[in-house]
């Protein structure tokens, strides 16, 4: 599988390059950046390795044409463009970008009619097991258990709650057969009153260099269940994304998630 990396000079982009090079069955098709000093630099030198003979470019369409599948951990505005290119070229697209608005989601849905699109709030295998467990527990425990989702990330993260936290909220809401937007509480400040029954709450922490920590709490009278995932390296996201890219081979066009990739349903 020829894999292209959009946004290849960022922290995740460089890690994705390393993971593609280390994965049997994967080949590096190239990488792009919209602008900046990385343009023209060899992708091997970009990650501190040997020269690969493939340079960073700004021609994203050309990278789509040259690749079997693209991996995107960029920003929502860029992801919208990449989804449109996937639709135009029919090339598979793996999306790890978070903070997606309705316009980007609409572009992704449109692309999935013509190409394989794998989109998940978190590409980690462990986090996707956590998502499946959250849905199962929410369905099993019932509404007498209050659901709270706590997440912490590094000081540079710009969106809150994290895409993974919102994904966990969606999983809990799915387990309870409710719409998350009807029961979510993302902030509490001042005299907020008693906690409404059925509410799914979110708490956000930011600081230091924390890669990502997520805890789902089910709290009832007399007991509390907590399930936690802690990421200590971004390598887990790169491994999951490359695994998803290889899984895309031969699939019919459609919108898939990491739970599909992992066979979690």
- Of the candidates 153, 214, 229, 239, the residue annotated as catalytic is 153
How far apart (Å, rounded) are the C-alpha atoms in residues 17 and 14? Answer: 5
Distances (CA, A) of 233 to 11, 15, 45, 84, 205: 11, 10, 22, 31, 18
CA nearest neighbour of 80 among 38, 56, 58, 109: 109
Judge whether 50 counts as a catalytic residue: no
236 by Cβ neighbours in 10 Å (0-12 / 13-18 / 19+) ranks as buried
Judge whether 157 counts as a catalytic residue: yes
Q: Find where tokens 């280390």 sit.
A: 22
Strands 184-185, 212-220: pairing is: unpaired
Both tokens of residue 37? 């000093």
Query: How many helices (H) does the chain have, and how many strands (E)?
Result: 10, 11
Per the CB < 8 A criterion, the answer to whether 175 and 137 are in contact is yes
At residue 148, φ and ψ (nearest 5 deg) are: -130, 140
Instruction: Specify the DSSP class assigned to residue 243.
Output: H
**Chain CA centroid to CA 129, Å:** 14
Which conformational region is residue 84 in: left (phi greater than 0), alpha (psi within -120 to 50 degrees), or beta?
alpha
Strands 223-231, 212-220: pairing is: antiparallel
> Among all residues, which ones are annotated catalytic?
153, 157
């Amino acid at each position: 599988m020829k894999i292209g990396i959009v946004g290849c000079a960022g922290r995740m982009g460089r890690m994705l390059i390393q993971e593609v090079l280390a994965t049997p069955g994967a080949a590096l098709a190239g990488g792009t950046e919209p602008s900046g000093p990385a343009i023209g630099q060899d992708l091997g030198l970009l990650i501190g390795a040997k020269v690969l003979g493939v340079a960073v470019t700004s021609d994203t369409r050309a990278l789509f044409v040259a690749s079997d599948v693209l991996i995107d951990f960029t920003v929502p505005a860029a992801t919208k463009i990449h989804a449109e290119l996937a639709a135009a070229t029919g090339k598979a697209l793996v999306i790890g970008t978070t903070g997606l608005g309705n316009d980007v989601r609409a572009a992704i849905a449109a692309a999935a009619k013509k190409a394989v699109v794998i989109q998940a709030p978190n590409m980690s295998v462990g986090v996707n097991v956590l998502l499946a467990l959250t849905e199962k527990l929410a369905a099993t425990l019932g509404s007498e258990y209050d659901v709270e989702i706590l997440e912490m990330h590094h000081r540079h993260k710009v969106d809150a709650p994290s895409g993974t936290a919102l994904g966990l909220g969606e999983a809990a809401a799915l387990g309870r057969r409710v719409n998350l937007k009807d029961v979510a509480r993302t902030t509490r400040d001042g005299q907020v009153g008693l906690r409404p029954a059925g509410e799914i709450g979110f708490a956000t922490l930011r600081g230091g260099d924390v890669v990502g920590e997520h805890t789902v709490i089910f709290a009832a009278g007399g007991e509390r269940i907590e399930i936690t995932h802690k990421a200590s390296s971004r390598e887990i996201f790169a491994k999951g994304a490359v695994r998803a890219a290889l899984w895309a081979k031969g699939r019919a066009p459609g919108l898939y998630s990491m739970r599909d990739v992992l066979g979690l349903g």
